[in-house]
């Protein structure tokens, strides 16, 4: 999707972690963009960070886990009214158990449960890819 004139573009990396047929999701905190929606964990890339570095940092900050970042599953861009998000989804393997560190909710959702969760519009293409994969 094209970037809207004058809108801010944010580059984000997100982890696609699958265990026993379920995917790790976290819920966005109140006071944040898209508050209350479920998402694949990750966050904004800081200036000078690679996607791999940003994703490992975000997972450590948010869930207290170290991760092995694998290949990119999907890159997509989505324009919300207030900002444009450039998303890079990577297959990841966690080396420890995740524990929310910022008060956010966490769950493991199967492919069949995706449609029942309130996920961001920007994740729709990934959900389609993952749903076909199972």
Q: CATH number, domain at 99?
A: 3.90.79.10
Residue 45 within any structural domain of the chain: yes
Spatial neighbors of 8 by CB under 8 A, at least 6 apart, are: 82, 83, 84
Nearest to 88 by CA among 71, 100, 105, 111: 71
8 A C-beta contact, residue 34 and residue 85: no
Residue 15 within any structural domain of the chain: yes
**Residue 73: which domain range?**
8-132
What's the CA gap between 122 and 128, in Å, rounded?
12
Domain total of the chain: 1
Residue 99 within any structural domain of the chain: yes
Residue 3 within any structural domain of the chain: no
Q: How far apart are the first and last CA of the chain?
A: 27
Write the CA distances from 65 to 35, 38, 46, 97, 125, integer angstroms.
Answer: 23, 19, 19, 7, 26
- What's 55-88 look like in SS3? HHHHHHHHHCCCEEEEEEEEEEEEECCCEEEEEE
Residue 40 within any structural domain of the chain: yes
Our CA angle for 106, 49, 87, nearest 5°, is: 50
pTM (two decimals): 0.89
Per-residue pLDDT of the chain in tens (134 residues, 90 and over written 9): 444 445 688 999 999 999 999 999 999 877 777 777 899 999 999 999 999 999 999 999 999 999 999 999 999 999 988 889 999 999 999 999 999 998 899 999 999 999 899 898 889 999 999 988 64
């Amino acid at each position: 999707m094209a970037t809207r004139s004058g809108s801010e573009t944010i580059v984000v990396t997100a982890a696609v972690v699958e265990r026993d047929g379920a995917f790790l999701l976290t819920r966005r905190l109140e006071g944040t963009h898209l508050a209350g929606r479920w998402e694949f964990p990750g966050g904004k890339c800081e200036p000078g960070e690679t996607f791999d570095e940003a994703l490992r940092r975000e997972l450590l900050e948010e869930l207290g886990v170290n991760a092995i970042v694998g290949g990119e599953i999907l890159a997509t861009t989505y324009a919300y009214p207030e900002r444009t998000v450039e998303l890079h989804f990577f297959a990841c393997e966690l080396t420890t158990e995740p524990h929310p560190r910022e008060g956010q909710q966490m769950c493991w959702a199967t492919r069949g449960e995706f449609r029942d969760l309130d996920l961001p519009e920007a994740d729709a293409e990934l959900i389609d890819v993952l749903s076909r994969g199972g």
